[in-house]
Chain A
């Protein structure tokens, strides 16, 4: 025992200098999780929206399997209310990496009468049904998501491998303990697992990583001029599905998006961050969370995310 002690104190100084940076540690952890899921599941898929978190996820996957191809398809739940440049980015990325793209369409469910448009016109909460349908149809047993625990207080309770029942539901009171770096992905027929390899990343980590790795993103993450109008305390883009009401004045502003989702409920922020380095500085100095700043759907109630997640949302 006592010899062990003296050995330990001697090496401490040397070890400090070689420690990985926090970004490298997070990257390493994420790649370990991605590889575990690929090794232990039969049919994984990665949720890919073209949003920054899913773009980082895909980048991590390319690093995990280099020089081989990313060994799973990507799944996009299309609200039909997308920013056209994001869809374009999605298609180019899929093409560049030689991936298979599976699309679950909210519009098709609405057209078939299996989903009803909400009174507020927001389609983010409607994604759950097409998502679960795509998982079932394609027999995906693991679905990678870019969810981060710092995004929301319900997400802060989510496991890295999170079991979903036959109905895709999350039971926050009955989660498996997650110990060391040993992930338990066992599931029975009909159940599936959501995997969140970047659980421990913050928004700032994501941006610093995008900067460091020189990762391409849809242009709307950077400052650009856009026709907008004010609603619910945020700037909404003028578009097919987001039209100003008569009293809402349309003006041109220099804005950028902190999240990209359903165009009808995602707001832009005024910004002069034209480059990724500008964005890193802006995010580091921000006094609002990304969801609080830009997501109308999360402002509905204190537990909006928890309720959606229990039903099977991302």
Chain B
């Protein structure tokens, strides 16, 4: 970015308008950090002082031998221990923008805790870039990563076949790997389930081939460079929002009872009109809502109550309609008792709340899960106690087989049945990436134990692919 290139007029049109979140996954040394560094560097998101610091450290460590160069991985490996050991320990978030989009990038380390990190990165991602070392091809670890991404319903999976420079930019090496990837995709239903798509791109993260611009060194590859892909894919909320029915977990009740904001009053707010103001604050998780829409209020243990939306407010503005992921405050026509933890949903679109929860659990804690254990389940804005009734098996992520198991350990993904202390408006994760997701929390130390994906019944979704 140079000063003369950006005039005020240009900026107006050049400003990125939408947000796109993506994550990287891959085994240790496949080049994730280098790729991320390359994207940041080539999209000019790295400012001079940062680059200087990285260049100095690279030289101090003798990076690239006599050839020299900059170790781009240092741009993301931010912790002292990471730089010293040359590995990524924890998910790092990075930001860059092109004139089409602003990107939020989660660089997820691939070592022992790969499931934990991949699940974390993928849970919010619109796309995940999985790296493969062109010299190694599809490994067991690749199968595991793709399997996790399929389970989490990531909309776009992009496989970057990296270090293509080290196989002399060979087309046949790439085509073989591409075929293997597509084969795994077929086994998993990735790219053919109507939810996700699967793309394969040859890259050299180190030299920059096909990262930001298409490379002349891979003339046999006619597809887009990685960044072009990321710039043009539809984000998950573009794909989902208009398909789904309105869902709004109530975070809190806004009821000032006279304690109005002095700045709003000073700006002319009608104090009398707002004396009895009452609205439900939250973020729309799915779908959209209009003033006048019929909605149901779902309260655990009560049958749904139906009313209409009287108003949608946001910081002094009245909106006619709002959609996910907007944060708003909703007023209802009837004076119901509505509280945090309740859900407001489009009337007639919700099934009965249930206290029996069938789920796939991604176990993220060193403390194993045991049958009979008491845990907390956080779903939307409600946290309830739960009992682990049974563990019915765990997935072998590499062979896609379901194995018998009665406990789950760190990085395992398994099936369990839980009994909830109060019924929740659970929805199948397959079609609801927000209302079908929950956390399992340790009631003793409060740590997050697992990421949970709601299933309709014990034999639901991924079992279609995981043969027993």
Chain A interface residues (CB < 8 Å from chain B): 1-2, 4-5, 7-8, 11-12, 14-16, 18-22, 24-29, 31-32, 35-36, 38-39, 62-70, 96-98, 149-150, 152-154, 156-157, 172-173, 175-182, 184, 186-188, 199-200, 202, 204-205, 208, 277, 280-281, 284-289, 292-293, 302-303, 306
Are B263 and A179 touching (Cβ within 8 A)?
A: no
Asked, given contacts A22-B102, A66-B316, A172-B90, whether A202 binds B116 with beta carbons under 8 Å apart, the answer is no
Q: Which of B104, B255, B283, B381 is within 8 Å of A28, CB to CB?
A: B283
Q: Which of A20, A96, A98, A188 is within 8 Å of B326, CB to CB?
A: A20
Are A177 and B252 touching (Cβ within 8 A)?
A: no
What are 19 residue pairs bridging A and B, where the CB atoms are less than 8 Å apart in the complex? Answer: A19-B237, A22-B16, A29-B327, A32-B251, A32-B327, A66-B316, A67-B316, A69-B260, A156-B78, A156-B93, A156-B94, A172-B89, A177-B120, A184-B378, A204-B97, A277-B8, A286-B47, A287-B48, A302-B80
Are A20 and B79 touching (Cβ within 8 A)?
A: no
The 6 closest A-B pairs by CB, nearest first: A186-B446, A153-B78, A5-B194, A292-B49, A68-B256, A63-B315
Q: How large is the interface on B (under 10, 10 to 19, 20 to 34, 35 or more residues)?
A: 35 or more
- Complex: chain B residue closest to A178, CB-CB: B120
Q: Cα distance A81–B451 when bound, in Å?
A: 46
Cβ of B112: which chain A residues have Cβ within 8 Å of it? none
Are A180 and B437 touching (Cβ within 8 A)?
A: yes
- Complex: chain A residue closest to B283, CB-CB: A32
Q: Which of A69, A173, A199, A306 is within 8 Å of B78, CB to CB?
A: A306
Q: Which of B83, B95, B238 is within 8 Å of A19, CB to CB?
A: B238
Q: Which of B251, B259, B376 is within 8 Å of A69, CB to CB?
A: B259
Q: Which of A36, A156, A277 is within 8 Å of B92, CB to CB?
A: A156
Q: Mark B116-132, 1 if CB is under 8 A from A, else 0.
A: 11011001100000000
Are B256 and A157 touching (Cβ within 8 A)?
A: no
Are B281 and A35 touching (Cβ within 8 A)?
A: yes
For the complex formed, measure the closest distance between the CB of A298 and the CB atoms of chain B, giving whole angstroms: 10
Are A184 and B439 touching (Cβ within 8 A)?
A: yes
**CB of B323 closer than 8 Å to a CB of A:** yes
**CB of B179 closer than 8 Å to a CB of A:** no
For the complex formed, measure the closest distance between the CB of B6 and the CB atoms of chain A, giving whole angstroms: 5
For the complex formed, measure the closest distance between the CB of B42 and the CB atoms of chain A, giving whole angstroms: 16
Q: Mark B385-427, 1 if CB is under 8 A from A, else 0.
A: 0000000000000000000000000000000000000000000
Cβ of B255: which chain A residues have Cβ within 8 Å of it? 68
Q: Which of B101, B243, B252, B381 is within 8 Å of A11, CB to CB?
A: B243
Q: Cα distance A302–B57 when bound, in Å?
A: 9
For the complex formed, measure the closest distance between the CB of A220 and the CB atoms of chain B, giving whole angstroms: 22
Asked, given contacts A22-B19, A66-B261, A67-B264, whether A202 binds B434 with beta carbons under 8 Å apart, the answer is no
**CB of B468 closer than 8 Å to a CB of A:** no
Cβ of B256: which chain A residues have Cβ within 8 Å of it? 67-69
Known: A179-B437, A200-B95. 18 other contacts (CB 8 A): A4-B195, A12-B238, A20-B325, A25-B18, A25-B325, A67-B261, A153-B92, A157-B91, A177-B120, A180-B124, A184-B378, A202-B97, A284-B1, A284-B11, A289-B47, A292-B50, A306-B79, A306-B80
Which of B1, B16, B90, B264 has the most C-beta atoms of chain A within 10 angstroms of its own C-beta?
B90
Cβ of B323: which chain A residues have Cβ within 8 Å of it? 18
Q: Cα distance A157–B243 when bound, in Å?
A: 34
**CB of B26 closer than 8 Å to a CB of A:** no
Q: Which of A12, A28, A293 is within 8 Å of B325, CB to CB?
A: A28
- Complex: chain A residue closest to B241, CB-CB: A15
Cβ of A38: which chain B residues have Cβ within 8 Å of it? 252
Q: Cα distance A149–B329 when bound, in Å?
A: 28
Are A199 and B8 touching (Cβ within 8 A)?
A: no
Q: Which of A8, A21, A150, A286 is within 8 Å of B194, CB to CB?
A: A8
Q: Which of A21, A63, A177, A287 is within 8 Å of B18, CB to CB?
A: A21
Cβ of B91: which chain A residues have Cβ within 8 Å of it? 157
Are A7 and B50 touching (Cβ within 8 A)?
A: no
Q: Cα distance A153–B73 when bound, in Å?
A: 12
Are B81 and A182 touching (Cβ within 8 A)?
A: no
For the complex formed, measure the closest distance between the CB of B155 and the CB atoms of chain A, giving whole angstroms: 10
Cβ of B259: which chain A residues have Cβ within 8 Å of it? 68-69
- Complex: chain A residue closest to B49, CB-CB: A292
Asked, given contacts A12-B239, A32-B327, A67-B269, whether A62 binds B263 with beta carbons under 8 Å apart, the answer is yes
Are B451 and A179 touching (Cβ within 8 A)?
A: yes
Asked, given contacts A32-B251, A69-B260, whether A179 binds B123 with beta carbons under 8 Å apart, the answer is yes
Q: Cα distance A66–B274 when bound, in Å?
A: 11
